[in-house]
Amino acid sequence: MVDTGCEGQSFINLEWTKEKKIPLLPLRNPFQLVGYDGVLNENRTVRHYVRVDFQIGDHTEKDIILFITPLAHYYTILGLPWLEKHDLKTEWASRTITFNSKFYREHYGISEQPQP
């Protein structure tokens, strides 16, 4: 899921990481998440992260860091900092995203913007 209201970088579901046996790495400085409801509680303390290759369509990002937290309905959430960095083109009506930003071209060896 992409979440333009999420101020965090990127998150992955705790139960899903356990299910897939993805190694959890401890954070030196755990931090608490504040949800849309503004509530702080111990269940929202992020203590671990994972480093994985992450694929969206034909885009693969190597060694992405995802912070681990319980997520009710999603495997991952990509927050606003990740979205700003990658500057995706979003077409809401067709529910598609396109990786064609300057960042993407520079970091993934694409010399020109793809043509529609």
- Tens digit of pLDDT for each residue in 86-107? 888 888 899 888 877 777 777 7
Confidence of residue 59 (pLDDT cuts 50, 70, 90): confident
pTM for the complete prediction?
Answer: 0.78
Sign of the CA dihedral running 63, 36, 72, 33: positive
pLDDT at residue 43 is higher than 60: yes
Q: In whole angstroms, what is the distance from residue 27 CA to residue 46 CA?
A: 8
Q: In whole angstroms, what is the distance from residue 69 CA to residue 41 CA?
A: 12
Q: Which residue in 13, 22, 2 sits closest to 68, CA to CA? A: 13
Q: In whole angstroms, what is the distance from residue 106 CA to residue 21 CA?
A: 33
Between 41 and 68, residue with greater pLDDT: 68
